[in-house]
């Protein structure tokens, strides 16, 4: 097991790590505070520092408008990566994947 890195009090996006909870399948789980809604949220170290998790799940799920969803679908067809799209529209990658899936279903 590698040495645990103390990230307590270091703000990453809207995540403030409060205390280390446990190691789960080699992932260090931290109790954090979402700075957008002040709710407690449990996030793994890797998701915190990579910015994969930027806030709690409900704050992170910014809804995309239909117009934005169409734009994203078009851009993906033009080989714009999901990572770039998530950055551009300021949403989680999972939101982009979900949007693309929904758009695909509508096209059929």
Residues forming the site for Zn ion (CB under 5 A): 34, 36-37, 55-56, 59
- Rounded Cα–Cα distance for residues 91 and 86 (Å): 5
Of 36 and 70, CB closest to Zn ion: 36
- We find the least distance from the C-beta atom of residue 96 to Zn ion, in angstroms, to be 19
CB of 33 to Zn ion, least distance (A): 9
DSSP letter for each residue of 41-79: EEEEHHHHHTTS--S-HHHH-PPPPHHHHHHHHHHHHTT
Considering beta carbons, is residue 48 or 72 the nearer one to Zn ion? 48
- In the complex, minimum distance from the CB of residue 64 to Zn ion, in angstroms, rounded to a whole number: 18
Tell me the torsion sign for CA atoms 52, 32, 89, 73: positive
Measured from the CB atom, is 38 or 107 closer to Zn ion? 38
């Amino acid at each position: 097991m590698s040495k645990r890195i103390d990230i307590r009090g270091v703000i990453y996006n809207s995540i403030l790590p409060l205390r280390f909870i446990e190691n789960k399948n080699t992932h260090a789980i931290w109790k954090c505070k979402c700075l957008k809604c002040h709710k407690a949220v449990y996030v793994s170290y890797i998701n915190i520092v990579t910015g994969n998790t930027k806030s709690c799940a409900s704050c992170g799920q910014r809804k995309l408008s239909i117009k934005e969803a169409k734009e994203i679908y078009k851009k993906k067809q033009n080989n714009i990566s999901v990572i770039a799209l998530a950055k551009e529209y300021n949403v989680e990658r999972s939101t982009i994947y979900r949007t693309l899936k929904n758009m695909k279903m509508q096209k059929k």
